[in-house]
Amino acid sequence: MSEKMRSKGFDGMACSIAEVMGAVNDRWGLLVMRDLLLGLTRFDDLRRSSGVTNATLSDRLKGLEASGLVERRQYQTRPARYEYVPTEKGQDLAMLMLALVQVGDKWRRRQGQGVPLRFVDAGSSHVLRLATIDADTGAILTAPKIAVEAGPGADEIMGWRIARGREGRTG
């Protein structure tokens, strides 16, 4: 097993979670993506919504653009002003947002708080939620017991993580 230290980024790590986290960067990047996916596109709106400083927002938008999650489009020439729009890759994060909302809502309900945001089907207005589905049968699993196994893109460290995790659960 390689004990290589990674001080910045997740380059070379065969992990899908690390790939998404590397693209988003940090909590501010995630909140900026939340706002972009909600339809906010202008710098001032993004700053107002998140409460982030101008410098931090500017830095996160540049990072999200470099990661291919956001496209910057000029909407005014004098002075030059830009809006920020999620790319197809950025729109893929809607599923992650839905998962985070579901977990956050569960925690809020336990504390007697209401949910601040709902995802609904645009056609029917029915509330949406993520579910665990059996990939072979298509059946929705209501109380899945989730286990993990190495996939075809796993590297040595991922194999070690999985094996070590199993040891911890069984012994």
- Give the pTM: 0.80
What is the pLDDT at residue 154? 86
What is the pLDDT at residue 85? 96
Helix (H) or strand (E) holding 43: helix 43-50
What is the pLDDT at residue 171? 52
What is the pLDDT at residue 4? 44
The answer to whether residues 15 and 158 touch, using CB atoms and an 8 Å cutoff, is yes
Paired strand residues for 71: 85
The answer to whether residues 26 and 50 touch, using CB atoms and an 8 Å cutoff, is no
Q: How far is C-alpha 160 from the chain's CA centre?
A: 25
Domain edges within the chain: 16-91, 131-171
Domain 16-91 is in which class?
mainly alpha
Paired strand residues for 120: 127
What is the pLDDT at residue 169? 65
Three-class SS state of 162: helix
What is the pLDDT at residue 1? 38
Paired strand residues for 81: 76
Write out the chain's pLDDT in tens, 171 residues.
Answer: 344 444 457 888 888 888 999 999 999 999 999 999 999 999 999 999 999 999 999 999 999 999 999 999 999 999 999 999 999 999 999 999 999 999 999 999 999 999 998 888 899 999 888 999 999 999 998 887 888 888 888 888 888 888 888 787 655
